[in-house]
Amino acid sequence: MKSAYIIAHHLISALGFTSKKNVEQLMANQSGIRLSDRYSKGLELPLALIDKTAFPFEYKKEYTYLENLMIHSMEESLHQATFDYKSERCLCIISTTKGNIDLLSNEKELDIPKERSGLGNMAEVIQKYFQFYHVPMVISNACISGSMSVITAQRMIQEDMYDHIIVCGGDIASEFVVAGFNCLKAMSHQACKPFDAHRNGISMGEAVATVLMSHEKMPSEKISFEILGGAISNDANHISGPSRTGEGLTLAIQKTFEMTALNASDIDYVSAHGTATLYNDEMESMAMYRTALDKVPVNSFKGYIGHTLGAAGVIEIVMGIECMRANMLIKSLGYEENGVEHPLHIIQENATKAQTHFLKLSSGFGGCNAALIIQKQEA
Amino acid sequence: MKTFVQHFVHIHAQKVFIDGVLRYEETATALDFAAFIRNVYKYFEMQYPKFYKMDDLSKLAFVGAELLNVKESTLYKSEDKGIVLMNRSSSLYTDALHQASIADKSDYFPSPAVFVYTLPNIAIGELCIRHQISGENYFFVQSKFNAAMLTNYVALLFRQRHVQQCICGWVELNSNNFELFLYTVEQKSENAVKSAHKSPIFASLSLEGNHILNDTDNIEKLYKL
């Protein structure tokens, strides 16, 4: 069995246009969430939006907003590596929930056919741009898409199906999703407060995140990150409300422990899904309690970048490994007072801690859950 | 590791086939999807009141999965059962309904009952609830049926022991048409469709002891039946 490593990455979010900028802002506890009525005329909502006035690249008119961001992020990632991404041994996985959803309403961008709102069409446009050998695999599994894409890539590299996999997760904020979450009464009216007693919903974010995964470590790097394994489960309980018992997520965590031959005492840090809805955070803390993770330092990055849907797993995995590289635990922004039945060890101030294993959790509509463990290795 | 196709269902062009055999044909012409799928639901005497609350993509997947007859299966634990689906149009059909409800600011009526279905994997969620499936669940979107991607990944899930039984297939619905091809895969061959005595359409499949192997060529051929 081969190992799968993350060898390079690139992030675009409300915190900035590079991984470096994103990590700096995290370490400084700066949030990208601002009140805006851009997608909810007359109603100010906290959103974590990418700064469209500051693109560090030339915007290509024949591509959509999301495609421009994805192309830039993948190019910046590929510049950091030397493998032949046009080879048969390389696959691209695109993780997105809504893709070019703005095309459904945006009458201005008529240069771009509406068919591009089809995720498969978008993937083929990206394939053509990079001249990838294979048509990209598109994973659209609600808010676990990103974590799931990284797990999927790890499994395929493990079996030697590919040498390199480019995982690009992306979703944009839109009137479509903002109106939707708002009608579900799931949108917070202030910056989101994961796991806090006064949490009352999500802050919508947008992001594009790319990781390059490889069967071999980057020889020049002293520190490597290996994806040890992960699992996906379903609550089989409700399509839009998470299980009250945390059963599904518990199962994903237990399977991940089994697969990696690790347990809760080996985990140095957990990056929770932590959307700050009442139900998600309650369910997630229940699952962490049931798997003895309630004493392990945990945060949610949603207070920094909002909920970035199909990008969430990918960007939060990158943030997690960069915190692990720096041996830093980052404050869970928005948290003040415990608001769940089984209190967790929420990181309340930045701290240093030597870290080897990090656990990422994701849950989403449709009852889906994902868990994966990443190990830091020093040469 | 070898895996086998247990049962398969096709729903398209107003017809329903189970294991390659025509079981229902709509006689009324130009029936819309909603009316057609209700007729199929009633014809096969399905009983699941929640069906009526589902969006059209979920209704299609639901009916297809009912006809696969997996619900009695107690051979496997809930967590060892999985679902891997693929389509072309994601949830765009329902997305358009949600978009229409927010297009006009003077007639603004977004509905939670519609919005929750604006993700393709909600259909998977419905099947998981119905059949108590709590294992691996994937929704892939591709511009056309990609038998190799589906088959290769499902094979990996079996090899790595993430699943012991898996509902797989293509569940496509858009404003012009719909098409479902669902099948179950297991490692055991005892339950599998014995094809030798069936219609000539099986002649071109690669078989082992009359059982249909779950491989890309077979899945491609079954899809085109």
Q: How far is A362 from chain B (nearest CA, A)?
A: 14
Distance CA B147, CA B25 (A): 26
Query: DSSP readout, B160-178?
Result: TTS-SEEEEEEEEE-SS-E
Q: Is A234 on the interface with B (CB under 8 A)?
A: yes
pLDDT for residue A121 is more than 60: yes
The CA distance from A4 to A317, in Å, is: 14
Contact residues on chain B for A247, CB-CB shorter than 8 A: 134
Percent of chain A with pLDDT over 90: 94
- Look at residues A214, A236, A253 and tell me which one is the last residue of a structural domain: A214
Q: What are phi and psi of A20, to 5 degrees?
A: -60, -50
User: Are residues A145 and A248 both part of a single domain?
Assistant: no
CATH architecture of B4-89+120-223: 3-Layer(aba) Sandwich (3.40)
Give the total number of structural domains in chain A.
2
Query: Tokens 């990181």 sit at which residue?
Result: A347
Residue pair B36/B26 in contact (Cβ under 8 Å)? The answer is: yes
Q: For residue A109, what pLDDT is reported?
A: 57
Residues of A in contact with B103 (CB under 8 A): 105
- The separation between the first and the last C-alpha atoms of chain B, rounded to the nearest angstrom, is 26
**Per-residue pLDDT for A89 more than 60?**
yes
The pLDDT value recorded for residue B203 is 78
Strand duo B15-18 + B4-12: pairing = antiparallel
Does residue A227 share a domain with residue A196? no
pLDDT 10s digits, B108-133: 899 999 999 999 999 999 999 999 99
Domain residue extents for chain B: 4-89+120-223
Q: What is the pLDDT of residues B1-38, one digit of tens each?
A: 999 999 999 999 899 999 999 999 998 877 899 999 99
> A242-251, A347-356, B82-91: lowest mean pLDDT where?
A242-251
Count CB neighbours of B97 within 10 A.
17
Specify the pLDDT at position B105.
83
Domain that holds residue A278: 223-378
Q: What is the pLDDT of residue A377?
A: 98
Regarding whether A249 and A173 lie in a shared domain, the answer is no
Domain boundary among A162, A190, A214: A214
Residue among B88, B119, B156 whose CB faces A366 most closely:
B119
What confidence score (pLDDT) does residue B223 get? 95
In this structure, are A71 and A152 located in the same domain?
A: yes
Angle, nearest 10°, between helix axes A312-325 and A145-158?
70
Supply the pLDDT for residue B14: 92
B contact test, residue of A40, A177, A183 with most B CBs within 10 A? A183
Which A residues, 48 through 77, put their C-beta within 8 Å of a C-beta on chain B? none
Q: Are residues A112 and A236 in the same domain?
A: no
Same domain, A152 and A33: yes
A203 and A270 together in one domain:
no
User: In whole angstroms, how far apart are CA A218 and each of A78, A312, A324, B9?
Assistant: 13, 25, 17, 47
Residues A293 and A197 in one domain: no
Pairwise CB contact (< 8 Å): A137 & B140 = yes
Q: Are residues A95 and A234 in the same domain?
A: no
CB A111 within 8 A of CB A62: yes
Helices B92-103, B56-68: axis angle to 10 degrees equals: 160
CATH at residue A329: 3.40.47.10
Q: Which of B119, B133, B152 sits opposite A365 (nearest CB)?
A: B119
- pTM higher than the cut 0.95: yes
Which tokens in the block code for residue A12? 């675009």
Query: Per this entry, what is the length of chain A?
Result: 379
* pLDDT recorded at residue B225: 84
Instruction: Give the whole-angstrom CA distance, residue A246 versus residue A290.
Output: 8
Contact call for A137 and B103, based on CB within 8 A: no
CA distance A235 to chain B (A): 6
- The whole-angstrom distance between B22's CA and the closest CA on chain A is 31
> Average of pLDDT values for A357-366?
98
ipTM (interface predicted TM): 0.96
Is B112 in Cβ contact with A118 (below 8 Å)?
Answer: no
Q: Which residue of A has its CA nearest to B121?
A: A141
A177 and A252 together in one domain: no
Q: Residue B161's Cα: distance from chain center in Å?
A: 22
Confidence check: pLDDT of B198 > 70: no
pLDDT band at B197 (very low <50, low <70, confident <90, very high): low
CB-CB neighbors (< 8 A) of B143 in chain A: 118, 120-121, 123-124, 135
Residue A262 bridge partners (DSSP):
none
pLDDT of A180 over the 80 cut: yes
- Among candidates B203, B224, B205, which has minimal Cα distance to B213? B205
**Phi, psi (5° rounding) for residue B138?**
-130, 140
> How far does the CA of residue A25 sit from the closest CA of chain B (Å)?
32
Nearest chain A residue (CA) to B113: A184
User: Do A205 and A235 sit in the same domain of this protein?
Assistant: no
- Mean of pLDDT over chain A: 96
Q: Does A40 touch chain B (CB under 8 A)?
A: no
Residues of chain B contacting residue A235, judged by C-beta atoms under 8 Å apart:
128, 134
Answer whether A236 sits within 8 Å of B133, measured CB to CB.
yes
Distance from CA of B97 to the nearest CA of A (A): 11
Beta carbons of B136 and A232 less than 8 Å apart = yes
Does residue A243 sit in the same domain as residue A289? yes
- B136 to chain A, any CB pair closer than 8 A? The answer is yes
Interface residue B78 vs chain A (CB under 8 A): yes
Check B137 against A234: CB less than 8 A apart. yes
Instruction: Measure CB to CB from residue B102 to each of A152, A175, A231 and give the nearest one.
Output: A175
Separation CA B109–CA B100 (nearest Å): 9
CB-CB: which of B103, B112, B135 is closest to A105? B103
